[in-house]
Amino acid sequence: MTSYQQIVLASRPQGVVSVDNFRLESVPVPTLKDGEVLVRNHYLSLDPYMRMRMEDVKSYAAPQALDEVMIGGTAGEVVASKNPKFAVGDKVVGMLGWSEMGVSDGVLLKKVDASVIPLSAYLGAVGMPGMTAWYGLTQIIQPKAGETIAVSAASGAVGTAVGQLAKLRGCRVIGIAGGKEKCDYVVNELGFDACVDYKAGNLRKDLKAAAPEGIDGLFENVGGEVMDAVLARMNPFGRVALCGLISGYDGEPMPIYNTRVMLSMRLTLRGFIVSEHMDLWPQGLGEMGSLVATGKLKYRETVAEGLAAAPQAFLGLLVGKNFGKQLVKLI
């Protein structure tokens, strides 16, 4: 290979993201400098946070630059190395973006063992999404056995991990997802105690039926009406891990009306970004890796084929078309 393909951000979305916001480019394979590693990406991770990066606004991270490779986690194989820590054939995960190949100085590249845990899982349950679930649940919600934990976007990469981790800790788990198929999956396949289909039109009533004794912990990925409805069911001293607000990533207003509940129920709500807590990743991913390797934690993947399919797959992710972890398979 003398060239490879990558996808750059061509323009910032005006409201809803369109495939026209992206541009596929062909670039020459670079010559490595000392210390560098050339990686052939096998999988690209698509994640909701990317939507926020596309905006040029004050946020927790710098915006994705225009005409630069879209940010993104990747899993692949070393194909050339001038870095003594990496050998050709090593399986690695990194942040090489929406690209078939990438060059790394090795600092943020991590070797992984793909013999027991499939390579793609290092982008899901044993990667950033799994760590996100672990951090929000164990560090913010801090669930106790017998408590009721709710999680929105329940069938997504993060939500599936949150619910299973909470079940393993002896909690009653209520999923919230869009559609019967997703709800059936988290209940029947993953062992959630109940799931509320927010598209069914009876959000508040169904939540009450699913959590008759109220909700002690909420892992929030969606925001807006769904979050507001769960807040109204929170028990005293409930905790809310605010992980994502995918319902408002296109700029839609998503007011919270149940402000009173935060006071009357003495809730604690905390927003978090998992990449700011790297000190806990070894502990969190250690647990996630063991659970996946021993089959105690299941995950599901939605896989788009080929780099050119990434923009459409990303658009699908933003409206909940994915089921579990959304990946793009590059090789």
Which residues lie near a second copy (CB under 8 A)?
52, 58-60, 223-224, 227, 236, 242-245, 248, 253-257, 259-260, 262-273, 276
278, with CB counted inside 10 A (0-12, 13-18, 19+), is exposed
Q: Residue for token digits 């210390």?
A: 35
Closest distance between a second copy and the C-beta of residue 145, in Å?
Answer: 23
Least separation in angstroms between CB 327 and a second copy: 24
Three-state DSSP class for 326?
strand
Q: Which is nearer to a second copy, 29 or 256 (CB)?
A: 256
Q: How far is the CB of 59 from a second copy (least distance, A)?
A: 4
Q: How far is the CB of 52 from a second copy (least distance, A)?
A: 7
Q: Whose CA is closest to 287, among 176, 81, 134, 75?
A: 134
Residue written as token pair 């991590």:
110
Nearer to a second copy, 1 or 263 (CB): 263
CA distance 159 to 177: 9
CB distance 131 to 284 below 8 Å? yes
DSSP 117-177: S-GGGGGTTTSHHHHHHHHIIIIII---TT-EEEEESTTBHHHHHHHHHHHHTT-EEEEEE
CB of 87 to a second copy, least distance (A): 38
Q: Which is nearer to a second copy, 256 or 280 (CB)?
A: 256
**Which is nearer to a second copy, 114 or 265 (by Cβ)?**
265
59-90 per-residue burial string, b: 16 or more CB within 10 A, e: under 16: eeeebbeeeebbbbbbbbbbebbebeebeeeb
Q: Which of 86, 85, 69 is nearest to 77 (CA)?
A: 86
Q: 140, 163, 268, 147: which is closest to 213 by C-alpha?
A: 147
Contact between 164 and 134 under an 8 Å Cβ cutoff? The reply is: no
CB of 6 to a second copy, least distance (A): 27
Please identify, using beta-carbon distances, which residue of 175 and 224 lies nearer to a second copy. 224
Q: Please say which residue, 263 or 278, places its beta carbon nearer to a second copy.
A: 263
Nearer to a second copy, 32 or 269 (CB): 269
Q: How far is the CB of 142 from a second copy (least distance, A)?
A: 14
